[in-house]
Amino acid sequence: MGRHFLQIPGPTDVPDRVLRAIARPTIDHRGPAFARLAGEVLERLQAVFRTRHPVIVYPSSGTGAWEAALVNTLSPGDRVLAFETGHFSALWCAMAARLGLVVDLVPGDWRHGADPGAIAERLTAAHAAVMVVHNETSTGVRSRIPEIRAAVDRTGHSPLLLVDTISSLGSMDYRHDEWGVDVSVGCSQKGLMLPPGIGLNAVSPKALAHRGRLPRSYWDWEPVIAANRDGFFPYTPPTNLLYGLRESLVMLLEEEGLSEVFRRHDRHAEATRRAVRAWGLEVVCADEREHSSSLTAVLTPDGHDADAVRRLVLERYDMSLGTGLGRLAGRAFRIGHLGHFNDLTLAGTLSGVEMGLRAAGVPIEEVGVRAALARLEESA
């Protein structure tokens, strides 16, 4: 009984009113009612990416939108500079290599964001693009995109800047135009509070002008942008998800407002870190400037399996936590605190984690929840 706590960092809990919006009759995607829906959604998507330029909507996962970013802009054999920030950056790089790009990878320890200092050393005129994951969902580390942009500009080279904002869009400050990003990659099931099924690309004029020669058909931006001018798509769009997206964008942009959305996530992330430190545990992120506000990855002490903690929390308290991915498997679990989430959701979430850690025999100080609540009270 009671509601399941879906505290993985995506898919996130979908608000009831978004579910209700989705549960409407599917309409003719070539009719006038659909054109109005598409127009409203596309305009609000520009606001959430903070761009005046086109946003492309795909019926896809985030992974599809990654592919779209690469195949629209790059050519076979192009060099790209990328950073090993964690599991998601590694997956995106592997995709780039499979598509025939040459990936120069700046190694990393999975506890830091992309290093702006490495750009001066590594970026050359031969690089067609720089790829960065803004919020590395496997580690809870945020890369400093404005500093990366400035470092790129200082080199005098002009690669495209491709940024994955999948787990930060709609929960952490992100500015496509102001930060000089060329392609921003997003999707539906994280901060936008929707089920999975929509992939997004926000594209700069420079990216639109820089058409690569990698083969593309379904992912080609041009037919989508052309059809979108009249509110349509070159293929069947995910009509019901777009109803839901219109609802969630109204909630984020018009009812709460983006700056308040970001403040709420910052506050919950800070309270979560207070809890982790009060338990005597360590967060994965090792740089104070780089904490994620949408999730926190927590290291378990040596000899304590993080997945055993997750299993107990699911069995006893009906809460899903994120597993350790890649090299953090078994060593870390992740607490998602993004999307449809408030102070009492955080209190319930951290209570479940504290009880789960105790049940799994992880040695902790039993004052984590208290420390988080104190932080919420003083910042209310």
Ligand X SMILES: *Cc1c(COP(=O)(O)O)cnc(C)c1O
Beta pairing class for 55-59 and 198-203: antiparallel
> How far is CA 288 from its chain centroid?
19
Give, in order, the Cα–Cα distances in Å from 92 to each of 64, 74, 268, 269: 11, 14, 29, 26
Residue position matching structure tokens 């105790």: 358
| Helix (H) / strand (E) containing 187 | strand 183-187
Which residues sit at the interface with ligand X, rule CB under 6 A?
Answer: 10, 61-63, 88, 133, 137, 164, 166-167, 187, 196
In the chain, the amino acid numbered 241 is L
Amino acid at the residue 64: G
Nearer to ligand X, 137 or 184 (CB): 137
358 annotated as ligand-binding: no
- Cα–Cα distance for residue pair 270/275, rounded to 1 Å: 9
**Using H for helix, E for strand and C for coil, what is the string for 158-182?**
CCEEEEECCCCCCCCCCCCCCCCCC
**Least spacing, CB of residue 66 vs ligand X, in Å:** 7
Q: Which is nearer to ligand X, 190 or 331 (CB)?
A: 190
Alpha helices in 23-115 (DSSP H): 32-49, 62-73, 87-98
The Cα–Cα gap between 31 and 35 comes to 7
Whose Cβ is closer to ligand X: residue 64's or residue 159's? 64
Instruction: Return the exposure string of 94-131: e unless at least 16 CB atoms fall within 10 Å of the residue's CB, then b.
Output: ebbeebebebebbebebbbbbbbebbeebbeeebbbbb
Helical axes 343-359 vs 258-279, angle rounded to 10°: 20
Residue whose CB is nearest to ligand X in the complex, by number = 62
Q: Which has the closest alpha carbon to 340: 261, 233, 238?
A: 261
Q: How far is the CB of 114 from ligand X (least distance, A)?
A: 13
SS3 300: coil
Phi, psi of 10 (to 5 degrees): 105, 130
Binding site as annotated, residues for substrate: 334
Binding site as annotated, residues: 334
